[in-house]
């Protein structure tokens, strides 16, 4: 079986000779601190050996629940925000048909994502769409009080009960939440919903291989056993005992920190040449941004979809400020085979491509862009994925997770907390006059009055 692979040569050339190898001791120490649970945030390391600890019986339980939703629902709404939906959406879109939502007589339910915003138009349009649908809900929230998700779930619960009745609703709402406490747990127990536990020691952005990700992915019809097997194999391939020169997680963590500390590269752009990988980039942005953006430190993670964004961001990447580097996701073999046709009139001048696979054109665009960007002063890291299937996506997910833990420890931040996320919530609750926020409400209203 093949594996994803890493090539850092077009990034290392922007550093002094031996600069990446010089990180070996730091990378191994950072990795060791994960294994020893001595790093900051060590109470959130449950993801580290999660893949190899998932039992066949547990996957069967998840699959059985997914099968029930698949049988009873035309649409399954996944209600969650941040890590509670990004991983599932990334994998479902990477593995799915780009036009699945338009296909009639399909065997899989449509998966819709909500609870990740407070857009009134979005929610109104969602509830209208669901009016004539047999729908179910996967409610993902450890506390059950996260504003975006709780607001959405209240709307959906009421609508589901009105359309299907309370008894039938019990079979089509699933809670993924805390084992013992919180509003979502109380609601699930009271209403008799099937529930799964979000482990206390797994943070949201590392939770895709828990029921948070596995249940929606299984509902969409994808092979969660292959996904977990890929992650398990990558767990072995990036283990602490794998030599630094062969350990792609330690290599990736090291080269990006070297570019940041020694070459002034403050922005990392994750790039794909397959539209299906767009949400892999969104998931990756949360994973690295929320893990490393601490103490006024950290690489800014962003993403581009090529070749599309070459016609919008390409100029800036080629000739703009030299504070960036790219990590390119390259899919070696597409799942389909489409040949470019010959045209007698050849008005577009593209007959030189006749008979070639469309992917060959895409690959040459990828290679040409990498050469141009490197020549323009943009270090390039290449991450090759043999093909888009559940096994290799499982590898990719775990690779990025363990590399993130190592990289955050090299940076000397706590990769597993997110204190900055609470600032906007406090202001929002104060502005909405939430009980318990009276002092904050008074202070913020006085501040706004003074700023007028």
> Catalytic one among 235, 250, 268, 290?
290
Q: What's the gap between Cα 5 and its chain centre?
A: 19
Rounded to whole angstroms, the Cα distance separating 72 from 219 reads 11
Three-state DSSP class for 450?
Answer: helix
Active site annotation includes 373: no
Marked catalytic residue, from 181, 297, 425, 426 = 425
Q: Report CA-CA distances (Å) from 443 to 149, 197, 391, 434.
A: 27, 38, 52, 14
First to last CA, the chain: 64
Instruction: Supply angle C-alpha 52, 55, 60, rounded to 5.
Output: 135
Rounded Cα distance between 160 and 170, Å, is 10
Catalytic residue at 360?
A: no
Could you give the angle at the alpha carbon of 148 between the alpha carbons of 146 and 151, nearest 5°?
95
| Distant-in-sequence, close-in-space partners of 172: CB < 8 Å, separation ≥ 6 | 68, 69, 72, 73, 134, 135, 136, 137, 160, 164
- Per annotation, catalytic residue among 311, 344, 422, 451: 311
Catalytic (active site) residue 266: no
Which residues fall within 8 angstroms of residue 31, CB to CB, at 6 or more apart? Answer: 240, 249, 250, 405, 406, 409
Give me the numbers of helices (H) and strands (E) for the chain, helices first please: 17, 10
**How many other CB atoms are there within 10 angstroms of residue 285's CB atom?**
17
The side-by-side arrangement of strands in the sheet containing 75-79 is 110-114, 75-79, 135-140, 173-177, 194-197
* Nearest Cα to Cα of residue 297 among 263, 266, 251: 266
How far apart are the C-alpha atoms of 207 and 221, rounded to whole Å?
19
H or E, element range at 78: strand 75-79
At 3, give phi and psi (nearest 5°): -145, 160
**Catalytic residue ranges:** 290, 311, 425
């Amino acid at each position: 079986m093949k594996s994803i692979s890493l090539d850092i040569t077009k990034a290392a050339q922007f550093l002094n000779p031996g600069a990446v190898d010089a990180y070996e001791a730091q990378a191994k120490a950072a990795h060791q601190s994960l294994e020893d649970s001595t790093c900051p945030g060590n109470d959130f390391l449950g993801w580290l050996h999660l893949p190899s600890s998932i039992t066949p019986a547990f996957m069967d339980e998840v699959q059985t629940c997914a099968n029930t939703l698949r049988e009873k629902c035309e649409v399954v709404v996944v209600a969650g925000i941040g890590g509670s939906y990004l991983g599932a959406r990334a994998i479902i879109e990477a593995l799915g048909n780009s036009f699945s939502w338009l296909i009639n007589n399909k065997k899989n339910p449509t998966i819709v994502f909500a609870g990740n915003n407070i857009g009134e138009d979005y929610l109104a349009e969602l509830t209208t769409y669901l009016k004539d649908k047999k729908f179910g809900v996967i409610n993902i929230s450890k506390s059950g009080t996260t504003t975006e998700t709780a607001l959405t779930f209240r709307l959906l619960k009421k609508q589901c009960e009105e359309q299907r009745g309370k008894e039938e609703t019990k079979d089509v709402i699933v809670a993924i939440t805390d084992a013992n406490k919180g509003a979502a747990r109380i609601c699930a127990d009271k209403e008799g919903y099937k529930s799964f536990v979000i482990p206390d020691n797994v943070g949201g952005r590392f939770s895709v291989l828990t029921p948070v990700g596995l249940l929606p992915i299984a509902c969409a019809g994808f092979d969660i056993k292959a996904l977990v097997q890929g992650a398990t194999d990558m767990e072995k391939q990036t283990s602490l005992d794998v030599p630094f020169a062969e350990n792609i997680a330690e290599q990736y963590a090291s080269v990006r920190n070297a570019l940041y500390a020694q070459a002034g590269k403050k922005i990392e752009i994750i790039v794909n040449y397959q539209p299906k990988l767009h949400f892999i980039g969104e998931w990756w942005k949360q994973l690295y941004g929320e893990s490393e953006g601490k103490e006024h430190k950290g690489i800014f993670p962003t993403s581009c979809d090529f070749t599309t964004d070459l016609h919008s961001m390409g100029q800036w990447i080629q000739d703009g400020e030299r504070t960036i580097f790219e990590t390119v996701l390259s899919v070696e073999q597409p799942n389909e085979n489409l040949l470019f046709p010959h045209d007698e009139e050849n008005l577009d001048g593209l007959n030189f491509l006749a008979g070639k696979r469309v992917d060959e054109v895409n690959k040459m665009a990828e290679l040409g862009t990498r050469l141009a960007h490197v020549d323009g002063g943009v270090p390039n890291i290449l991450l090759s994925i043999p093909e888009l299937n559940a096994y290799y996506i499982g590898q990719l997910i775990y690779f990025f997770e363990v590399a993130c833990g190592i990289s955050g420890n090299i940076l000397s931040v706590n990769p597993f907390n997110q204190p900055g996320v609470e600032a906007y919530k406090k202001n929002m609750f104060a502005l909405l006059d939430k009980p318990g926020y009276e002092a904050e409400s008074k202070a913020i209203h006085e501040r706004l009055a003074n700023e007028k």
